[in-house]
Structure 1
Amino acid sequence: MTKKLRGSLERPRLYIFKSNKHIYAQIIDDIKAKTLITISSVTPEIRSNTKYSANCETSKKVGKLIAEYCLDKGINKVLFDRGYNVYHGKIKALADSARESGINF
């Protein structure tokens, strides 16, 4: 799926990676091959406020925080890249939270 999606500076790619313990979200500019923003459940802002790092509530916090960082940098539109993950559960919670916070994809 990643080979088909190409983010640019005007519309970078929101890449989601999920492990058994954590969830990661990155904003990537594929033209410059540069990661613009990285937020995960390991980030101190999220880790200090959560008891468990592998649930939907943590995914919602990651989505909200990455949306805040994007809006601070002037990024309103992104391409959503879920990788090979099914759009369900933690991935859906992160995406819905990011949409509610103001990101369009």
Structure 2
Amino acid sequence: MSTTSRTGQRLKRHTRLRKKVAGTPSRPRLQIFRSLHHTYAFVVDDTKGHTLVAASTREGSVSEGLGSRTNIAAAQKVGAAIAQRAKAAGIDAVVFDTSGLKYHGRVAALAQAAREAGLEF
């Protein structure tokens, strides 16, 4: 049995993933973070180390009308919001970073909603 915590294992996977996935000015990185209570999404330019746009369920405009901020519907709203903000900032294509999480459930719902809103990855 592993002595590493689940968070430690996720961070190890994220580090391994980040060796291959990097955001450039022409194609920044769409990173997600899923906590117990909220879902966050950031578009990051790794060459400068700047967050270009962000969206989360902590914002009133995104979490409005949601019963729970931790379900798939909330992740879909975050995905649509991040895509809309990225398009407004002139970003059409991104590289997707799952942060060491499985492409499943809330992560997949956020990605699918962002694709449907016009973000290419």
Q: TM-score, normalised by structure 2?
A: 0.84
Q: Secondary structure at the match of 1:104?
A: coil
One of 93, 96, 114 as aligned partner of 1:80: 96
The match for 1:29 is: 45
Aligned to 2:76: 60
Give the aligned length. 105
From 38, 57, 60, the equivalent of 2:54 is 38
Percent same amino acid among aligned pairs?
Answer: 39
RMSD: 0.8
Largest Rg, 1 or 2: 2
Q: Distance in 2 between matches of 1:17 and 1:54?
A: 12
Partners of 1:3 and 1:45 in 2: how far apart?
34
SS of equivalent residue, structure 1 residue 67? helix
Mark the runs of 5 or more structure 2 residues left unpaired by the alignment. Answer: 1-16
Name the aligned partner's letter for residue 36 of structure 1. Answer: L
User: What's the TM-score, normalizing by structure 1?
Assistant: 0.96
More helix by share: 2
Rounded to whole Å, the distance in 2 between the matches of 1:3 and 1:49 is 39
Aligned to 2:64: 48
Given residue 119 of structure 2, which amino acid in structure 1 is its aligned partner? I
CA distance in 2, matches of 1:81, 1:31: 16
State the one-letter code of the partner of 1:48.
E
Q: Which runs of 4+ in 1 moved over 2 A?
A: none
Partner of 2:117: 101
